[in-house]
Structure 1
Amino acid sequence: MSRLAWQDLPADTRAAALKHTGPFLTSADVTTGANSGVAVKAYTTTGPVFIKGIPTDHRQVRTQRREANVNPYLPASAPKLLWHTQGGGWDLLGFELIDGSIADYTPGSPDLPLVVAALTELADTPCPDIPLLSLADRYAPYTSTPELFAGEVLLHTDMAPHNVLVDSTAHLIDWAWPTRGPAWADPAVWVGRLIEAGHPPEQAEQWAAKVTGFREADPHVLTAFAEANAHQWEEVRALEPRSLWKQRMATSAAVWRNHRRTLGLPTDA
């Protein structure tokens, strides 16, 4: 969706946030990310806060409600939700501010072990008994064997670099798609991002295998997921041919699928 500057929001929207934060001392609009209509780092009289928002009549407002619902159950490294409010036709979330840098996934990056640690922490986090998306349901249109993607682990499912902020720790942010599924899924999603960042598929899998769930996964199931994931990204590519990053991700997903095929592992995907 298009991104507005904080000062371009309705006065009633900004006032709703100020009830929680007090006056802003300084602020900076954030341009990264794809799931918000406004995003701002604010340093206020009550402390720093990251604010994101979506119009209440936009179909993606449900993603913010998912974030709010799952936040109490996230691992300690994830930013905590401080407040949730509405005003002036906007739905706003206020989070603990993580003033880190966007994760660097390129080969040799010092961020890679930190991402492994974050994925391991998430895998060790109990899956909450709340309504969540299902990985099997999400991938059902792209495979004949969605039951292979069932599981009871809490997943993030969007390992884009801008969804991981790094200081001395890697923090998983932007929980728009919290999902219930198998332990191998988040590192498997990360494989495509690593390939897009320049890793050959063998090396990307080596990094993913540092997370126990991926390392212990049935190789046939990983191949089935690589096939389904490539189908999904090919659909995205066809729907938005002018989006360069989506074109790159479709190519990366195909590279991983082709690598899995060379291993000679049959799949019904």
Structure 2
Amino acid sequence: MPVDRIHWTELPAAARAAVEAHTGPVLSADTAQAGVNSGIAATVRTAETVLFVKGVPADHPQVPTQHREAAINPYLPPASPRMLWHVQAGGWDLIGYQRLTGRHADYTPGSPDLPLIAHAVAELQVTPCPDIELKRAEQRWSSYAGSSDVSVLAGDTLLHTDLAPHNMLISDRAHVIDWAWPTRGAAWIDPAVIILRLMEAGHTAAAADAWARASFASWASAPPAAVTVFSDASAAAWDEIARNDPRDWKKNIARHAHDWVTYWRSHTQV
């Protein structure tokens, strides 16, 4: 659910004071324009440092999502920003993160960002999945899978599951950010997720598939029947997302999800 974005100075005084207890006095704050899931998202400057602050009202439905981000952060690979603190005050739930500088990734065909993206996701694929409460892939997609056996989605890999370009920050390398939906599951699911984003950026299904096969051992060895189950469930999930919030980009992803299913079924024996 989107959250109305406010500026740092519009936060309640108690919320700002709780942040400054960790940071010292805030000298300036620049509100981020991208993203729709944070009520506050700002680069904050103090006399000692620069950091990124994000948060939502304490009674907003996005609060559990933010708590998932906080819980998973200590276990993430070095490319992801470190959480510095997490506070609740003044009717707000707020997190301070290490500030990373960079730009959102370019997923278009031939982009020089693609090798960096592949490296970041490959690094994530070998990051140990922590023994904490996480959504399981077979749970997350079960309601979209019909009568299919969702146990084929199970696994012990830490998955991001939302590898959109705005969740990849490019500097000298790619940084995976915004961990709202960490999930435990089969390693090939994140490559399947990124394939739809490559198609959104202009790749054909065949080209996206080939890139993923060359980049990720998990995708190259993924059981075709399991991929079919996930692909069908993903298309159904995106249909629901687009129905509930029919913005163009969501409808486009839903269309690409069905295009992918058509391609996959035509190129496998499943």
Indicate the TM-score class for this superposition, using the shorter chain for normalisation.
Answer: over 0.9
Q: Distance in 1 between matches of 2:5 and 2:56?
A: 9
Contact 1:148 1:221 in 2 (8 A): yes
- What does 1:1-269 correspond to in 2, within 5 Å? 1-143=3-145, 144-209=148-213, 210-241=215-246, 243-266=247-270
What is the Cα deviation at residue 87 of structure 1?
1.3
In the superposition, the TM-score normalised over structure 1's length comes to 0.95
Return the letter of the residue paired with 1:39.
A
Give the aligned CA root-mean-square deviation in angstroms: 1.1
What is the Cα deviation at residue 195 of structure 1?
0.3
DSSP 3-state at the match of 1:195 = helix
Q: Distance in 2 between matches of 1:132 and 1:112?
A: 29
Return the letter of the residue paired with 2:20.
L
Contact 1:33 1:163 in 2 (8 A): no
Structure 1: which 5+ runs fail to align? none
Return the letter of the residue paired with 1:227.
D
Return the letter of the residue paired with 1:34.
V
Contact 1:77 1:171 in 2 (8 A): yes
DSSP 3-state at the match of 2:45 = strand
1:103-131 CA distance string (max 9 Å, x none): 11111111111111011111111110000
DSSP 3-state at the match of 1:91 = strand
Contact 1:136 1:149 in 2 (8 A): yes
Return the letter of the residue paired with 1:135.
A
Return the letter of the residue paired with 1:214.
W
1:214-237 CA distance string (max 9 Å, x none): 111112222221111111111111
1:80-109 CA distance string (max 9 Å, x none): 001111111000000000111001111111
DSSP 3-state at the match of 1:58 = coil
Sequence identity of aligned pairs in percent?
48
Q: Distance in 2 between matches of 1:226 and 1:121?
A: 24
In the superposition, the TM-score normalised over structure 2's length comes to 0.95
Q: Distance in 1 between matches of 2:36 and 2:262?
A: 28
Q: Distance in 2 between matches of 1:215 and 1:74?
A: 24
Contact 1:223 1:265 in 2 (8 A): no
Contact 2:155 2:187 in 1 (8 A): yes
What is the Cα deviation at residue 26 of structure 1?
3.2
What is the Cα deviation at residue 205 of structure 1?
1.1
Return the letter of the residue paired with 2:189.
A
Runs of 4+ in structure 1 deviating by more than 6 angstroms, as ranges, are none
Q: Give the total of aligned pairs.
A: 265
Q: Distance in 2 between matches of 1:28 and 1:46?
A: 17
Contact 2:31 2:43 in 1 (8 A): yes
Contact 1:157 1:186 in 2 (8 A): yes
DSSP 3-state at the match of 2:128 = coil
What is the Cα deviation at residue 138 of structure 1?
0.5
What is the Cα deviation at residue 34 of structure 1?
2.8
Q: Distance in 1 between matches of 2:268 and 2:170?
A: 37
DSSP 3-state at the match of 2:241 = helix
Return the letter of the residue paired with 2:161.
T
